[in-house]
Every structure is written in structure tokens, then in C-alpha cells.
Structure 1
Amino acid sequence: MIQGLIGRGGYGQIYYGSDATFPEDVVIKIEPIVRNGRTGKRMLLEQKILYRLQGRPHVPIMCASGHTEHLNFIVMQLLGPNIGDLKKRSPARRLGPTTVARIMIQGIAALRDVHSLGYIHRDVKPANMCFGITQNTRHVLKLVDYGMVRRYKNPDGTRRKARHRPGFRGTLRYSSARVHDGKEQVPSDDFVSMAYSGAELLLVNLPWKLVCVEDIKQAKLDFHAPNSPFLLLTGPYFSVFCGAIFSLRSDDEPDHSSLQALLSEMTGGKSLREAYDWEENYREACGSEDY
């Protein structure tokens, strides 16, 4: 039963409501089958990917999906505010380092689930990361929005041949330099987006936020330099983590566990299930001058 409108996304409407077969509140995403004279396929892809990912801890539970005569729809568990919105609520306009480290560790686990099936997400960003709202899920990160996912491996495990002009997919602020160059996206590009997301949570803004579009790629490459003042501001642990990601080649299969391990010291000994910054009135973010 639909109870109200949450908002309008890039390809349809998002409502909240209830489902008699599911114990939690749900989100209902709706996409017109025909939009502006074109057949909508994005939600069909998301339905397929979510179905394959069910049972993974960092993927939203999908309660139902299908279509009517005019609409495609997905019903899934209702989640809390996205990480970008939680950051905006902080008086310091950022999140504390132990919180960011644990978000990244869980985000890497989510990417592992996607990559292990031979897919890449292509739109990793704070707005696509949420925590659950129940006692059991409020400390479990969920990666959302699978409408831009693409298969990068063939069924036999080999890499698909890169297209000559794949077209841009993603969000420019978080896209890798390779994407600026029009290259086919690979797992390492998801990780670059994850690194940029974490840096934004720590720094308030990314250094290219106000840069004109033509100069964004160079600003990103400047950020990659080991002596970049902005990168150093993220702190010793996170800058090493970023360095490992920025050194990945396009044909590399990232070692998810090793990248998680680089952030272990940054957690300050806090477990993934301990309170996050927004649960403690952003005390860590407001009290942290150095990382």
C-alpha cells in the first residue's frame, strides 16, 4: 500500500508504503515503460541485478518487482537517509574519521558483492549509500541504485572487450579520470569513486567542486599526487588508502580485503556495529581538527 511520495528520481517516482508480506516499511520505485517516446530499460536492469544480489548483506532486500501495462516497479526495504544527507546535517559539514573509515570498509564489501558477479556499479557516491532503519540494520551499509550497472565479465570469467565509445555513465564529481577520457569503466573506477566519496566526507567538499567542467579532470589528477595538500588533509591512513586505489591499473582485479585492511587503524578500534557520528550528535566531526 502506497502511503506517500518520497521524491522523483532520474527515471521515475519513489514512494514509501507497506507490504503485507514484509515486516518493515518499504520503498516503491516506479518507472514509466515508455518515457518521452522511448522504452525505459533502466529499472528492468535494476530488477535483474537486485534479484541476483539478494541475500548479500550490503544490498537492499527486494520484496517484489514487475510491471503493469504502463509501469515498471520495484518494492524494496525502506532505508535511512543517504550518507550525503547525513553529512549535510553535521554542524562541521563533514563526518569524523572513524565513521568514514567504517563506511568505506562496508562500501568495499558492497563492491565485492557486485564485482564478484562480474558487474560494475558505475555510480558510487555518498547519495547511493544508506544504512538500515531497524535495530538489526541501522549499522549495516546498503549500496543502492543499480540502474547504471554493467557487466564487465563474460560468463566464463574473462573480461568483456572494451567498447570504442562507451558513453558517459555516472556522476561527474565522483567519476575517475579514465571516465573523463571516455574509457570503458572497470572495477578500479568504482574504487576511485569510493575514494572520492570518502574524501568528500572528510574534507567538507572535494577540491574540484567549484572548478569549471573543463578543469575537473586535472584537479582530480592533482589530488592523486602523493604530496597533494588536499590529499594530505584526509589524514595518513586515508591518504595511503587513496594512494593504493589511484595506483590500480584498468586491468587489475582490486584486492577488496587488502584495501579494507588499510583502513583498519583509522577506525580507532571501533567495530562496524558501534555508533556512528550522527548517532552521537556529530561529536567526532566537530572535535576533529586533524585526521
Structure 2
Amino acid sequence: MAEFEQIPKVGDVINDHYKLIRKISNGDHRVIFCAIDIKMHQIALKLEKEVDGETEVCIESAILKILNTKSDHVPKFYQYGSYKVYKFLAQELLGPNMIDLVNYKKPYKFSLHSVLKFSIQAIEILQIIHNQDFVHRDIKPNNFLIGNTQETTGKFYLTGFGLCKKLNRKDGVIIKSANKGKFRGSMAYASLNAHHHIEMGRHDDLTSLLYILVEFYNGMLPWSYLDDAEQIQQLKNHYHGQKLLKHLPKQFLKFESHISSLDYQTDPNYALLISLMKETAHENKIDLDAPFEWEEEINEERCIITSNHVNGAIKKKYDLTNSEQELQEVQDQMKTSTVQEFLDVLETLTGVQQDTSDDSSLSNNQYESQQSIRQDNYVEQFIDGMKKNDDKYKQLDWAAFVEQTGGSHQKEGFDDFEIGDRETSLSDRTS
């Protein structure tokens, strides 16, 4: 019973920094919330229960910190810490994932324009990750999300780095492990190497991406309605080449052919794959600069929700009474051991000892970056609009906000929109 009572719930305040506003998703050991931080900004908070002393959020935190300096197609990392029996990751709040988007309207598939436009972004993201010698190993539609602002509705971000692994290089040469690995990834999108428990490389990430492109263009994969791993493997063995790609433009056969020619050590030709997608667009007179099919409608919904619900989400406005000294005291409560654990993982992933002089003030630095990250957030735009209209908007007080009754699992007005049922899987749909 004591363990049950420790499960985080909407309304809880995590380490005096984050108030949980809405549950996004949950699993056996992990739960993800939309939360409000001490600066009254929206963030995504992943909490994972420790099992045998290991958590995916610790690995994901370290990898995000590395990738944040290389790409803006991954969520911004804010903080890694501990709460009761959980480890947590605070990161940038993103918009809906590909499953949400495709479930938004029938038929349950994307236009060729959207498939090509997404594919180019996805290839570019994977190239950046692979160039850092990381293999994602869990490429699936749920891990591709669009941004949470009007300007990023057409921009995809890759998440879910908990299964990520770093390639082993010796004298510049990638060394493949001789040991048999465990199955990693999602059954529907995993490569045949994953099914055979063979160490997964960069070409396996690209194979998973190809499966996504086929599914979202056709509306399904040949094995979409199966749960049995052996049956899915048999169908993947059977459906390849023309059998898998007969409804797609001919360039996708070249896409698959290139991936099939790769082995664990061979560098993929990302420029070739992108050129194939652009060639397809040119032949089909598709303007890749045109917005995705969902962008206009989502932005219209965002404007409606902003005008109707944001003001109602925070039922009271308070005068600022907390001092800067009080804020500093809260920040000083962060556990050094947790920060050190994070640095240890970071050191293991990079092979280079980290400079702890900057990382020791992790909780301070996150808020400086948040100012620029969220300056275009539609909630912030709404607040700015109030000020321009001479509304007497007073800065919200964190302590008073925490004392409010915790919300519910329903949309609280902080979230931008709801598209489809987040739990709906492609295998549950009919084409």
C-alpha cells in the first residue's frame, strides 16, 4: 500500500519545482506528465521507477544533453533528478506524435507530400544522431512528435532515447559485438536483425523508418494486425522489395536497396536517401516547402483554445510574494548525488570526463534556456496580448499556484489541443 501511495498523480508537486497538471501516458514503470515549472512554464516530465538500479530516463537525459548541442530536432533537456522511488527527466513539451496526427481524420494515412516531407526531416535527424555514434533502436511513429508552437507545427522531433546505444569505435573503426543481444524496439517496426537478436546498427534505424513510411502512405503494413512475434518475422521475410513497396513511387525501391546493402560498420549514404525523396517530389510536382496537411487546422484550433481556455485554466491571479532568496533556497535543495549520477552516465556515453563546473548549476541554467525556447509559445503570446490590451496581468506566484486544488486527467487549458486518442494504435484501425 505504501508503494501504491508513492505513484505520482495529477496535482502532485515534484521537489518544489514542478506541479503535475495532466497525465500524458503511462506504462509499467514509467509515467509522463504535462507539468508547470516554478517559472510557470509548461514542460514534459517523465518519471520512471528504479528497477535493479537502472532507469531509461537517466540514459535519455545524458543523451539529450549531448544532442542538444548538435540538433534542434530533439526536445530540450532541462533537468534530471530523483523523487521518492522515481528518477525523472524534465524536458521540452512537444505536440502530438504521428499516431495522433494520422488518427486526426480519415483515411488513416498521409498524402505523398507529407510522407516525403516527413521522411527528409527524419533522415536528417537520424544522420545527426548517428554522427554522434548513437543508434536509437526504437524508431516508431510514437517517438516522432511535432512542436508545441505555431512556428513548429511542421517540425518533427525525435524522442524516446531510453534504448539508445553508443557504437564502439577503436582507432576510428566500428567494432561489432560478438554477443547476441536482446530484442529492442517495437515489434511492428523492428528490423529483422532485431528479431534475430543481432546487434542493431544504423541501418536498422533506417529500416524501421522505411516501415513507417510504407505504413503511413498505404495506411497499414502487411503485419499490422498481428501480435505474434514469429508470424510478424515471417511476413517481414516475405514482404520486401516490390511486394512491400508496389504502391509507392519507384525511388522507395532504391531506398530499400541501399539500406539492404549496408552492414553494421558501413556508413549510410544519407544524402542519397534524401535525394531520392526530393526526386520523388519533383516527379510528382510536390512542393516540399508547402505546409503539412495538418498545420493550418491545428494552428486554427490552437488560436481558439488560446482565446477561450488559457485564461480559465488559471482561475486566480496572484501578486508576486516569493523573493529571489526563496527561489534560490529551492534550487539549492537539488541532490548532488543525483547530478553526479547523471554525470557518470554522461561520461560513460561520451568517453570524456565532463566539466562539472557548469553542470553543478543545472537547475539554474535550465530556466535561462527556457526563456528563449518558449518565447513563441502560444500561452506566452496570450499573456503578451493581455499586456498589450492594458489588462492588469500580475505575475503568477508559484507558492500560491501550488496551493490550488490539483487538476484532473482532462485537458486543463494549458495543453494546446487533443488529436485523436493517444492510446489508439495503428493495429486497431481499419483502413
Distance 2:264 2:26 in 1: 34
Larger RCO of the pair (alpha carbons < 8 Å, separation 6+) = 2
* Cα distance per residue 1:73-118 (max 9 Å; x no partner): 1111111111122112231110001101111111111111211111
User: 74-83 vs 158-167, which deviates more?
Assistant: 158-167
2:44 is aligned with 1:27: yes
The two structures have a TM-score, normalised by structure 1, of 0.87
* Cα distance per residue 1:38-66 (max 9 Å; x no partner): 22321111111111111312111112222
2:229 is aligned with 1:234: no
Tell me how far 1:261 sits from its aligned partner. Answer: 1.0
1:287 match: none
Match of 2:31 among 7, 13, 17: 13
2:107 is aligned with 1:92: yes
2:217 match: 202
Distance 2:30 2:46 in 1: 7
In the alignment, structure 1 segments of 5+ residues that lack a partner are: 283-291
2:209 is aligned with 1:218: no
2:292 match: 276
Distance 2:104 2:171 in 1: 46
1:137-152 alignment, distance < 5 Å: 137-152=152-167
Distance 2:26 2:293 in 1: 28
Match of 1:264 among 255, 278, 286: 278
Q: Which amino acid aligns with 1:221?
A: N
Distance 1:192 1:73 in 2: 31
Q: Which amino acid aligns with 1:62?
A: F
* Cα distance per residue 1:126-148 (max 9 Å; x no partner): 11101102133222110010000
Match of 2:208 among 193, 207, 220: 193
Summarize the Cα distance change of 1:281–1:69 in structure 2 as closer, same or farther, 3 Å threshold: closer
1:41 match: 55
1:2 match: 20
Tell me how far 1:241 sits from its aligned partner. Answer: 2.1
2:400 match: none
Distance 2:140 2:296 in 1: 23
Summarize the Cα distance change of 1:161–1:270 in structure 2 as closer, same or farther, 3 Å threshold: same
**8 A Cα contact 1:186 1:250, kept in partner:** yes
**8 A Cα contact 1:98 1:266, kept in partner:** no
Tell me how far 1:179 sits from its aligned partner. Answer: 1.5
Summarize the Cα distance change of 1:239–1:141 in structure 2 as closer, same or farther, 3 Å threshold: same
Structure with higher helix content: 2
The two structures have a TM-score, normalised by structure 2, of 0.60
Q: Which amino acid aligns with 2:141?
A: P
1:53-202 alignment, distance < 5 Å: 53-55=67-69, 56-154=71-169, 157-202=172-217
2:266 is aligned with 1:249: no
Tell me how far 1:21 sits from its aligned partner. Answer: 5.1
**8 A Cα contact 2:49 2:55, kept in partner:** no
Whichever of the two has the greater Rg, that structure is 2
